[in-house]
Chain A
Amino acid sequence: MHNEVPEIGPYPTHREVAQDVLGKFQVISSRYWITMAVLGFLVLLGIVGFVIRLNDGFDNASRANWGYLVATLAFIVTTFTAMPVISAGLRLTKANWRRSFTRMNENMALTGIVVMALLIPAIIALPPLEGRMSIWFEWPQGAPMLWDIMGYGTLVLIGLVMLWTCAVPDLAAASEYLPASPRQRFIKWLSLGWIGGTRQWKIMYQATLLMGVMYLLTYPLVQTLMISDFNHGLLPGYKDAIIPATVVVNGLQGAVAMTLVVMYCMRRFAGYERYFGIDQFWALSKPLLAFSLLWFYFFWASFITFWYGRQPGESEILRFLVLEEYRVHFLISLFLNFIAPLIALVWSPVRKSIWGPTIVSVGILIGAFVNQVRLFVSAFSVVDPGQHVLDPRPATQWPAAPDVMIIAGSLAACIMVFMAISKIIPVVSIWEVAEGLRLVKVRRYLNRHVRVISKSH
């Protein structure tokens, strides 16, 4: 076993990697167009659902109609839009196994467009700040609309700049590979005339790291705004200081899970098996397990404080969100986001496989969506957020047809956006993978072979 020569990367040379990735990038197959057509139809369906909801307006009585839209928005923010966080974080730690999927994650930054589109009606649906608790303390002019748009907008902008900055070298390579066409001209324009000189590489590296750090710092802020405005401020008597941190950690879990699922799809449907291999799945399964444990930990920190204190306001919230009306949602989430990942990923053979982390991730994503429904649909169903205590508690709100259409349309829009950008920016970072090839060597060590791995500067 130890005498086998380990692989150093998907292909031995930069040239082979570039030709393979750009070859796949160049081709836009009929299957691609069919998939886009189906997704486009779902997006149209989503718009129809949105128009149906729009018909009822944004007043107090119809606020509950927007709960599922907000839950979908929160789900997208905690999964698709959180994927660049994984990329940025791993780049800071200089983990070698990240190289294959960093671009794929950064491409997801473009789903920020969907986030901004859903954000506007979500904010409009919020009740006025007067008479209720909020993170704005009734003070800043333009709160929450102006500041939320600025916060989310900043995150989306940083994500796009990070994506573009990191992709420039590969855009230059792609523009030289593709035959002349409007697509090729657009890509060439995006490549900004990149040549690949020492100075350009140095500045690109620094910009990438800086954007990564900024994305990492902005993401918790956006999650804090999300949960404060759309959940915490709508539930009377609810004071939960940990909830922003909870959703940040849940977001990281969702991001890792989405990374695994997208990698699996890229392997299965797009032919990228050599890039998304056992190394990537195994390495990501460990943070997935860690975040699953943290999911429960952060929930428990809230729960034990409320359960033990037995304050009337907190007890009503606990009954509403966990023990009574949204108990089913909570139990599904508890199982899919904590129990199942713990039981499965504790076993080394499951972690060290392709199917293990993928199946667990699918469960986590379903659980994450159900959890967003529990947090946001419940909050939007409260008629009077200005009460002292949540009494009476609103009944459980199940999805209606327009809600299902909005959910399907929004998720389809995210996938569509990703598929579209993946034909403008190659989905595997050629320059990063090639850099990795130079930094990894295979050497004989006494009677076996080992990989010798260096870290980039």
Chain B
Amino acid sequence: MYYRRTLTDAQINKELLDVVFRTPTWWVILVSALGLMVAIGAGAFGFMMNKGLGVTGLHQPVFWGFFITNFIFWVGISHAGVMISAILRLSQAEWRRPMVRAAETMTVFALMTSLLQPLIHAGRPWRIFYWVFPYDWARGIWPDVRSPLVWDPTAIITYLTSSILFVYTALIPDLAIIRDRSTGWKRTVYGILALGWHGNPRQWKLQGIAGILLSALILPVFVSVHSIVSWDFGVSLVPSWHVTVFAPYFVIGAVHSGVSAVVTLMIVMRKLYKLENYIWEEHIDAVARLLIVVATAWLFFFWLDIVFAFWLKEEQELTVWNLRLFEAPWSWFFLVFITASYIIPVPLWLFRRVRRSFTWMLWTSLLVNVGMFLERLIIIVPALMRKGPWTFNYDTYAPSIVEITLVVASIALVCFLLLVFSKFFPLIPIWEIKEGQRLIEEVKVGNRVVPALVKED
């Protein structure tokens, strides 16, 4: 599977540290363009702070709209890091190597972006400190720990801290490589960050244990984060939200969208950073097969959600589903969502030629995320539009240009942060690639040579 030409350590260092040591023009152009979009987003946010939440499409009864959809979306994307990194590390899948750091970094930035969304959405974000952080002297009362809105930041901050520590711990050996290649103040800074790493057996052994142990610890956190976010909806009594399946449904949906985002990221990285030696067809083939399983499991949970929505035949629940399935424009959104999330991509991924084509995988993975964004929108907004039992409370929702700008700016922000990160740190873990290369072997069976891997235990 990994039978390719062997690269020397020096060659790997040079190719994977290319952007760190020189600044290509495309990088400057992209960062500038994305930075501009982020600045426009910041401007839109400032405008909203000045004029108030009235500039958005939010109004009674729909007070959760695009911002909360975006919040769930980015928390979902952040699940890719742990899925790719932790689960594949624990199962010792060799094909994880080029993807782990990019996925983990995307997790960190996606989480940071997701944390911005409820802040933006709050209208007066400085007041959020009152209900989230445990202090009581200014307002005379502690945050209410019984509320899922307090569980949320606890979980997300735990996940964010864990992910940052996970990225940093695995980055230390690569920081040592950059330290050794640098001079002057850069050498000093990377030297401090590398903490004096030498690469002796003790340090490498602990690096290996850290990878396994942190993966095992972060995995339950990853499951809990999106479950807790889902309970913002699930524990409420809004019709079609008060459903027990939301926790695993959201988690598996997050994995689906997150892993698809990793595929998009890997293909774009391969093109921009010229990583043909490191990101192969075998890698996207393996991820696509994983996606088939994840997407099918997601479909099972989705089917459970729909079937059991009709179980008790409650009128309010049926009203919400009627809106989602049969009333325009939500019926169109629903159709686009299910087509984009499953009906088009998964049957395509059953074909080996599609799985091994970078073009096909790029477009199908992007399609999945379009569908998954719509899925979150369809879960949130129609339920609020038909929340109450009285029809005079029914209303519509449409996002304003401010909301659309901020959502687009959030995508630009994550891409911007990833590009800036890549200027200072390698997006592909250099030491893991070197280790992986060392573990490639071959076994002769009759007249055929079959690729194999060295197993240490």
Contacts and interface: CB of A to CB of B under 8 A. Distances in A.
A–B contact at 8 Å CB threshold (below): yes
Interface of A: 133, 135, 137, 217, 220, 224, 232, 237, 239-245, 286, 293, 297-298, 300-302, 304-306, 308-309, 311, 438-439, 441, 443, 445, 450-455
Nearest to B230: A301
B248 to A, nearest CB: 6
Contacts of A305: 231, 234-235, 242-244, 246
Contacts of A300: 247
B280 interface: no
A298 B248 contact: yes
Contact of B300 (A133, A245, A293, A451): A245
Contact of A309 (B1, B220, B235, B442): B235
Contacts of B443: 438-439, 441, 452, 454
B452 A452 contact: yes
A133 B312 contact: yes
Given A239-B311, A438-B445, A441-B443, A454 B244 contact: no
A143 to B, nearest CB: 14
Contacts of B223: 297
Interface in B234-269: 234-237, 242-248
A452 B453 contact: yes
Given A301-B248, A455-B1, A239 B308 contact: yes
Contacts of B245: 241-242, 245, 301
Nearest to A237: B312
B311 A304 contact: no
B41 to A, nearest CB: 35
Interface string B106-147: 000000000000000000000000000000000000000000
Q: Is the interface of B mostly helix, strand, loop or mixed?
A: mixed
Given A306-B244, A438-B445, A441-B443, A301 B235 contact: no
A452 B454 contact: yes
Contact of B454 (A239, A240, A450): A450
Contact of A135 (B307, B441, B450, B455): B307
A239 B243 CA distance: 8
A441 B452 CA distance: 10
A135 B454 CA distance: 50
B61 to A, nearest CB: 19
Contact of B244 (A237, A240, A293, A450): A240
B248 A445 contact: no
Given A297-B227, A454-B451, 10 more contacts: A135-B307, A239-B308, A239-B312, A241-B243, A297-B247, A309-B237, A439-B450, A451-B454, A452-B453, A453-B455
Contacts of B313: 133
Nearest to B235: A308
- Among B236, B245, B305, B312, chain A packs the most CB atoms within 10 A around the CB of B245
B454 A245 contact: no
A439 B248 CA distance: 38
B456 A450 contact: yes
B192 to A, nearest CB: 34
B86 to A, nearest CB: 12
Contacts of B220: 293
Contacts of B309: 241
Contacts of B305: 241
Interface string B1-45: 100000000000000000000000000000000000000000000
B310 interface: yes
Contacts of A451: 454-455
Interface in B268-327: 296, 300-301, 304-305, 307-313
Given A305-B231, A441-B443, A245 B304 contact: yes
B312 A453 contact: no
A146 B456 CA distance: 53
Contact of B247 (A293, A301, A450): A301
A304 B451 contact: no
B90 interface: yes
A362 B24 CA distance: 61
Contacts of B442: 454
Contacts of B441: 443, 452
19 contacts: A135-B307, A217-B296, A239-B311, A240-B308, A241-B308, A241-B311, A301-B246, A301-B247, A305-B242, A308-B148, A308-B231, A438-B443, A439-B445, A441-B452, A450-B454, A452-B452, A452-B454, A452-B455, A454-B451
